[in-house]
C-alpha cells in the first residue's frame, strides 16, 4: 500500500476521484479472515479476546503503509454487548435487551457537518417510527494511527434506536430502510463533502468495530474492546490486504453480514443485472418501503461491500442467511456431481433466478443467530477450522491462529469447495453441510417445479431442413462482414477440422485497431482481462467439472419471490445457436417463448449520425416489443443489402443491453444476436460479456458448410459434422476465456464486461459500453460507420459483382496489401543479414527501421515523442557502470528460445552487471559455475511458476532475485505447450 500524494484530488474519506488511469470502481483486495464462537458457554469477553488474538495472528495477511503505522483495514463483528452499554454511563435509558438497536457510524470529521448528518439521520429514523434514543461518542486512541489513517479518520459515534412495537425481523427491515434513506440523502448533498458518513452496522443483534488499522491496533484504538463487560458468543474478524486499492476507513471489513477473503470477478455483471431486476421487485414484507432501499447495491463500494449489499437484500426480503448464501455462491452441481436430486433441483431452479457472484472466495457470515463460512466452488481461498470439547469453534484463513492442547481438540478440518460450515447459536449445535442444504432444498418443491416448467429447444416445433446458402450470397456476406482469406484458413478451418482453436506462437506485432489504416471489426478494439496475483485463473481442462456454459433466456420474474413460473425460461446447453435453432424459436408457440425480430442495419454510406439514428430506432422497437409481451428479442443483420449496411453487432447488443437496464426492462426479455460478424471465440465472449444471451453466427456456419463441401478443411468431413466441430471449438474457447478470469459459469460472465477498450472514445463508452475502461479515448460513431461502409462497399461495389477473392488479412502473417506490422519484412531481412555477415552497418540499418516507430505507428508508444531539452553536462550524469545494473531482460524460458540465445543473453547481462531471467522451467546446474574466461551463464533472476517446473533448492539458492509467476501459462493447448 502506498501513501497517496495529498495533492491528488481525494474526498474527505480518502478516496481519490476517477483520474487518468485510476478508477476506484476497479478496487479489490485479498485478506485474512476468521471467526471464533462458543456453542455452550454464555457470551463472554474471552471470546472477544480470542477473536482479537486470531486477528493479530493474521496480521501478516494484511499490509502496512509507507508510514509504517497505517494498516489496510481491520475489524471485528460481535453480538451487541448489552451489559456493557447499560454500564457505559449513557445519558439515556436503554429498553430491554433486543428492544433497541445500535448503529456504528462514521461521521464527517468537520463537527458542523457531523452534526448535520446526525440530525438528518435522527429525522429519518423518527419519520420511520423508530426514534433515536441518544448518541454515544465512541472512545478511541488516535495517537497510534499513521499519518494517512489519521488524516482521513472520521468522527466515530454510536446511535441507539427504539424498537417500539415492531417484531424483531420487522425491526431489522426498518433499520435497513432507515440506513438506506440516510445514506442516499446524505451522499446526494452537493453543498458539502459528506463522503466520510458511513454506517458500519445498524442492528438489534450485531455490532461492527473497524477502521484503517492493523489487527494489533484495533483493541488499542477502540478501548471498548478491552472492557471485561464487552461480551459476545462469537467474533468475526478480518485483516485486509489491498491489492490494487487505496485503503479507506469504510472499506475495512467486516461488513454488516460478511467478512470476505477473495475477489468477485463478475461484479460489473452482477451490478447490471441487479439494476435490471429492481423494477420488477415486489415484497410483501417490505411493502411500499421497498422503493426506499433502491438501489440495493451501492456501486461506490468495494466488491466485498457490494456482495454484502446483495446478501442483505435477500435476507431482509425473507430468505434465511444460509439460503441466500447458497443462491449467491452456489456449489458446482453439474450432472457428474454426486448429490441428491432435491439439492440439484434447488441449484438449477435458482440458477434461472440469479447468476453466481463468481470468483475466489472464502466468506464468513452471520446474522446474529447463524454464524458460518463457505468457499467458492473451486475452493480457491483457504479456510481451516478446529472444534474443541468445550464447544468452541475456530475458523481462519490458516491453521495456528490459536493454540490448543491436543486433548482439547475433537475435530480439525478444512472447508471443502462449495461447502458450508454452519453454527446455529439458538440450537447450540453445528449444522452439517448436508443437513442444512437438504432442509433448504426441500422447503419448496423445487424438483417438481424444475421438471414441470422446463423449456428446452428440443421441445419446440422442429422446422423443415434449412437449405445451404447460395455461394454468391455467401460471398457478399463474407465481404460485408469483413471476412478475410486469413480468417478462413487460420481461424475457421482449424476450428471446424479439429474442434478447437488453432495454436499460435506468442507475440502480436500487428497494429492496434485504432492505429490501423484498414477497417477493423469493433471487437478488435477490446482486450480481455485476466486473473492476476491474488486472483488465480482456473484450468478449463482439469477443472471443467466445476464449469458450465448452461444459459437461461427469457423473461425473469421477481427476485424476492419464488414460484413455479420463475423457472419458465428457455434453457440452453450453451449460448451458440444454429440456424435450425433460430427457426425453432421463430416458429415457437409456447406462451413463454415469444420472439420479435429487430434489424440492426443503417443506411449504406451513412455517417455517424445515421448510425446513431438507427441505434435509437432499435432501442425504441425493443421497448415496444417488450411492452407488448416479447420474451426474446432477436437482433439480426440478415437483411443486409445494397441499401442497408450492418450495424456493428457488438455496438447494437451492448447499447440495447444498457438501454433496457436504464429503462428497467432488461430482465423482461432475452437478447439473441443473429449476426454475420461473429466467427472467433473472442467475438462470442464479447457479445456475451456485453449482454447477448445467445448468438447465431449464421455466416460462420454457412462458411464452415461451404468449406466442408468444397474439401477445404484439413480432412474430409460432412457439413453437419464440421458445424458440430466448430461449435465444440467455440465452447472450449469460451471455457478457456472464462477460466482466465477465474470464472466458472457463463451465467456469471453474461454482462460482466470483463474487458478494456483500447481506442474507443468516451462518448461511445458512456452511451453504449457503460462501465468499461477506455483509458486513452479514441474513435466515435463516425469512424465506426466509415469502417462498416468500407466493408459494405466490397460486398456491393458501385459496378459489377464483388471480388471473387476475399481480403488477404495479414494480421497473423504479413501479406502485401495487408495489415501493417511493427516488424516489417525488410527489418527481419536486415537482422538476418547483419547476424550472418557480422556487419555492424547492416545492423544499424535494421535498428533504424525498428526504432522508427513513428513510421509504423503500430503501438501507443509509437505516438510518443521525446521532449528536446538542452544537453546535460556529462559530469552530471551517472556513469555507465551505475546505469547498466538496472537493466533486466524479460522472462523467457529455456524451451521458448534456443540454448545459444538463452545463454548469450545471460552472458551479456552479467558482463554489464544487469540481470537476466531464467523464465519458468528451471536452469541447467552447469550454468551456476563461471566459464574459464570468467563469463557467467547464470541468470540472476530465477522464476518460480505455479507449476514449479525445475524448481529445486539448488536453483533457488543460485538466485539474486526470485520472481513468482502467478498465472501459469504452460498448459496443453495453450501458450507454452506441454507434450502430450
Catalytic residues, by residue number, are 31
* Whether the Cβ atoms of residue 846 and residue 835 lie closer than 8 Å to each other: no
Answer whether 656's CB lies under 8 Å from 614's CB.
no
Assess contact for 352 and 552: CB atoms under 8 A: yes
Dist. CA 533–CA 944, nearest whole Å: 13
Dist. CA 630–CA 595, nearest whole Å: 6
End-to-end alpha carbon distance in the chain: 43
DSSP code, position 287: G
Looking at residue 238, what DSSP letter applies?
E
Cell 552530471, residue located: 876
In the numeric block, the cell 423473461 is attached to: 555
- Annotate 422-455 with DSSP letters as a single string: EEETTTTEEEPHHHHHHHHHTSS-HHHHHHHH-E
Say how far apart CA 40 and CA 77 lie, in whole Å. Answer: 20
Residue 621 cell numbers, joined: 422497437
Identify the CA nearest to 25 among candidates 357, 311, 303.
303
CA distance 17 to 621: 38
Sign of the Cα pseudo-torsion (908, 913, 917, 923, in order): positive
Q: How many CA atoms lie within 13 A of 887 on its CB side?
A: 15
Element (H, E) at 156: strand 155-162
Report d(CA 63, CA 618) in Å as an integer.
50
Strand bridging mode 644-646 / 601-603: antiparallel
Mention every residue, 6+ apart, whose C-beta is less than 8 A from residue 778: 514, 525, 757, 758, 759, 760, 761
In this structure, the chain runs to a length of 980
| Sign, CA torsion 783/785/790/791 | positive
Instruction: Find the DSSP H helices in 35-146.
Output: 45-57, 82-86, 111-127
Interatomic CA distance for residues 159 and 175, integer angstroms: 12
**Distance of alpha carbon 274 from alpha carbon 667, whole angstroms:** 9
Instruction: With CA atoms as reference, report the closest residue to 907 among 923, 930, 926.
Output: 930
Residues in a beta bridge with 366: 371
Task: Please return the burial class of 965, using the count of CB atoms within 10 Å of its CB with bins 0-12, 13-18 and 19+.
Answer: middle
Half-sphere exposure in the Cβ direction for 86 (13 Å, CA): 12
Query: Within 10 Å of residue 815's Cβ, how many Cβ atoms?
Result: 16
CB 574 within 8 Å of CB 566: no
972 grid coordinates: 496443453
Report how far residue 563's alpha carbon sits from residue 557's, in angstroms, rounded to the nearest whole number.
9
Report the distance separating Cα 368 and Cα 363, nearest Å: 16
Amino acid at each position: 500500500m502506498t501513501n497517496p500524494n495529498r495533492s491528488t484530488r481525494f474526498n474527505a474519506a480518502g478516496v481519490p476521484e476517477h483520474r487518468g488511469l485510476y478508477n476506484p470502481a476497479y478496487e479489490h483486495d485479498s485478506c485474512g479472515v476468521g471467526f471464533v464462537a462458543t456453542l455452550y458457554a454464555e457470551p463472554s469477553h474471552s471470546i472477544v479476546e480470542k477473536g482479537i488474538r486470531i486477528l493479530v495472528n493474521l496480521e501478516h495477511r494484511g499490509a502496512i503503509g509507507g508510514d509504517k503505522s497505517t494498516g489496510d483495514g481491520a475489524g471485528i463483528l460481535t453480538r451487541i454487548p448489552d451489559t456493557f452499554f447499560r454500564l457505559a454511563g449513557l445519558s439515556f435509558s436503554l429498553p430491554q435487551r433486543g428492544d433497541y438497536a445500535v448503529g456504528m457510524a462514521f461521521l464527517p470529521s468537520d463537527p458542523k457537518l457531523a452534526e448535520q448528518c446526525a440530525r438528518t439521520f435522527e429525522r429519518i429514523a423518527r419519520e420511520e417510527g423508530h426514534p433515536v434514543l441518544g448518541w454515544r461518542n465512541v472512545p478511541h486512541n488516535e495517537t497510534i494511527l499513521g499519518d494517512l489513517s489519521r488524516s482521513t479518520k472520521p468522527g466515530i459515534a454510536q446511535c441507539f434506536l427504539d424498537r417500539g412495537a415492531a417484531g424483531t425481523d420487522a425491526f431489522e427491515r426498518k433499520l435497513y430502510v432507515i440506513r438506506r434513506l440516510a445514506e442516499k440523502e446524505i451522499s446526494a448533498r452537493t453543498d458539502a463533502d459528506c463522503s466520510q458518513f458511513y454506517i458500519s452496522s445498524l442492528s438489534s443483534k450485531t455490532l461492527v468495530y473497524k477502521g484503517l488499522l492493523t489487527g494489533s491496533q484495533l483493541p488499542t484504538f477502540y478501548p471498548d474492546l478491552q472492557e471485561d463487560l464487552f461480551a459476545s458468543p462469537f467474533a468475526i474478524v478480518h485483516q485486509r490486504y489491498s491489492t490494487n486499492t487505496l485503503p479507506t476507513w469504510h472499506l475495512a471489513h467486516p461488513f454488516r453480514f460478511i467478512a470476505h477473503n477473495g475477489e468477485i470477478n463478475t461484479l460489473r455483471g452482477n451490478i447490471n443485472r441487479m439494476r435490471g431486476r429492481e423494477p420488477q421487485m415486489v415484497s410483501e414484507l417490505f411493502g411500499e418501503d421497498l422503493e426506499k432501499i433502491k438501489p440495493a447495491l451501492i456501486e461506490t463500494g468495494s466488491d466485498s461491500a457490494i456482495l454484502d449489499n446483495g446478501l442483505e437484500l435477500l435476507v431482509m426480503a425473507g430468505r434465511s442467511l444460509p439460503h441466500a448464501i447458497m443462491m449467491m455462491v452456489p456449489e458446482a452441481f453439474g450432472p457428474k456431481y454426486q448429490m441428491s436430486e432435491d439439492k440439484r433441483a434447488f441449484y438449477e431452479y435458482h440458477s434461472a433466478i440469479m447468476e453466481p457472484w463468481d470468483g475466489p472466495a472464502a466468506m464468513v457470515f452471520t446474522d446474529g443467530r447463524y454464524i458460518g463460512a463457505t468457499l467458492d466452488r473451486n475452493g480457491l481461498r483457504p479456510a481451516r477450522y478446529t472444534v474443541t470439547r468445550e464447544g468452541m469453534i475456530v475458523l481462519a484463513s490458516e491453521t495456528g491462529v490459536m493454540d490448543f492442547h491436543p486433548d482439547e481438540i475433537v475435530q480439525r478440518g478444512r472447508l471443502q469447495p462449495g461447502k458450508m460450515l454452519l453454527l446455529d447459536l439458538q440450537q447450540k449445535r453445528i449444522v452439517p453441510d448436508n443437513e442444512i442444504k437438504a432442509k433448504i432444498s426441500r422447503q419448496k418443491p423445487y424438483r417438481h417445479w424444475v421438471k414441470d416448467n422446463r423449456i428446452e429447444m428440443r421441445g419446440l416445433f422442429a422446422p423443415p431442413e434449412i437449405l445451404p446458402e447460395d455461394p454468391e450470397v455467401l460471398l457478399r456476406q463474407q465481404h460485408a462482414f469483413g471476412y478475410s482469406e486469413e480468417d478462413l484458413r487460420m481461424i475457421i478451418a482449424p476450428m471446424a477440422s479439429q474442434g478447437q482453436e488453432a495454436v499460435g506462437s506468442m507475440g502480436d506485432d500487428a497494429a492496434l485497431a485504432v492505429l490501423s489504416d484498414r477497417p477493423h471489426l469493433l471487437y478488435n478494439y477490446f482486450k480481455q482481462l485476466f486473473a492476476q496475483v491474488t486472483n488465480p485463473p482456473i484450468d478449463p481442462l482439469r477443472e471443467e467439472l466445476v464449469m458450465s456454459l448452461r444459459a437461461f433466456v427469457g423473461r425473469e420474474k421477481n427476485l424476492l419471490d419464488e414460484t413455479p413460473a420463475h423457472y419458465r425460461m428457455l434453457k440452453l446447453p450453451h449460448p451458440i445457436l444454429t440456424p435450425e435453432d433460430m427457426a425453432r424459436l421463430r416458429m415457437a408457440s409456447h406462451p413463454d417463448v415469444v420472439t420479435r425480430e429487430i434489424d440492426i442495419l443503417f443506411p449504406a454510406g451513412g455517417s455517424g449520425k445515421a448510425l446513431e439514428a438507427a441505434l435509437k430506432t432499435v432501442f425504441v422497437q425493443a421497448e415496444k416489443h417488450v411492452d407488448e409481451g416479447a420474451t426474446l428479442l432477436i437482433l439480426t443483420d440478415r437483411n443486409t443489402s445494397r441499401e442497408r449496411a450492418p450495424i456493428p453487432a457488438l455496438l447494437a447488443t451492448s447499447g440495447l443491453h444498457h438501454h433496457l437496464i436504464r429503462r428497467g426492462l432488461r430482465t423482461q426479455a432475452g437478447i439473441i444476436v443473429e449476426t454475420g460478424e461473429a466467427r472467433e471465440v473472442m467475438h462470442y465472449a464479447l457479445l456475451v460479456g456485453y449482454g447477448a444471451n445467445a448468438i447465431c453466427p449464421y455466416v460462420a456456419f454457412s462458411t464452415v458448410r461451404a468449406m466442408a463441401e468444397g474439401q477445404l478443411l484439413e480432412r474430409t468431413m460432412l457439413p453437419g459434422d464440421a458445424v458440430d466441430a466448430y461449435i465444440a471449438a467455440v465452447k472450449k474457447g469460451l471455457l478457456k476465456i472464462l477460466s482466465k478470469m477465474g470464472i466458472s459459469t457463463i451465467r456469471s460472465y453474461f454482462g460482466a464486461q470483463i474487458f478494456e477498450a483500447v481506442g474507443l472514445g468516451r462518448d461511445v463508452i458512456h452511451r453504449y459500453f457503460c462501465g468499461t475502461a477506455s483509458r486513452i479515448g479514441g474513435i466515435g460513431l463516425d469512424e465506426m460507420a466509415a469502417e462498416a461502409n468500407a466493408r459494405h462497399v466490397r460486398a456491393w461495389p458501385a459496378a459489377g459483382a464483388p471480388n471473387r477473392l476475399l481480403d488477404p488479412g495479414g494480421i497473423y502473417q504479413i501479406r502485401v496489401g495487408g495489415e501493417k506490422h511493427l516488424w516489417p519484412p525488410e527489418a527481419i531481412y536486415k537482422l538476418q543479414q547483419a547476424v550472418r555477415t557480422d556487419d555492424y552497418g547492416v545492423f544499424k540499418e535494421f535498428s533504424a527501421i525498428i526504432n522508427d516507430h513513428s513510421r509504423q505507428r503500430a503501438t501507443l508508444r509509437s505516438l510518443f515523442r521525446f521532449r528536446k531539452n538542452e544537453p546535460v553536462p556529462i559530469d552530471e550524469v551517472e556513469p555507465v557502470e551505475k546505469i547498466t545494473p538496472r537493466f533486466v531482460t524479460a522472462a523467457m524460458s529455456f524451451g521458448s528460445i534456443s540454448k545459444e540465445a538463452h545463454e548469450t543473453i545471460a552472458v551479456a547481462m552479467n558482463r554489464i552487471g544487469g540481470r537476466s531471467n531464467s523464465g519458468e522451467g528451471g536452469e541447467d546446474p552447469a550454468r551456476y559455475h563461471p566459464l574459464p574466461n570468467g563469463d557467467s551463464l547464470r541468470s540472476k533472476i530465477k522464476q518460480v511458476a505455479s507449476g514449479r517446473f525445475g524448481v529445486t533448492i539448488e536453483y533457488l539458492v543460485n538466485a539474486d532475485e526470485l520472481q513468482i509467476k502467478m498465472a501459469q501459462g504452460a498448459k496443453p493447448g495453450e501458450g507454452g505447450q506441454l507434450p502430450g
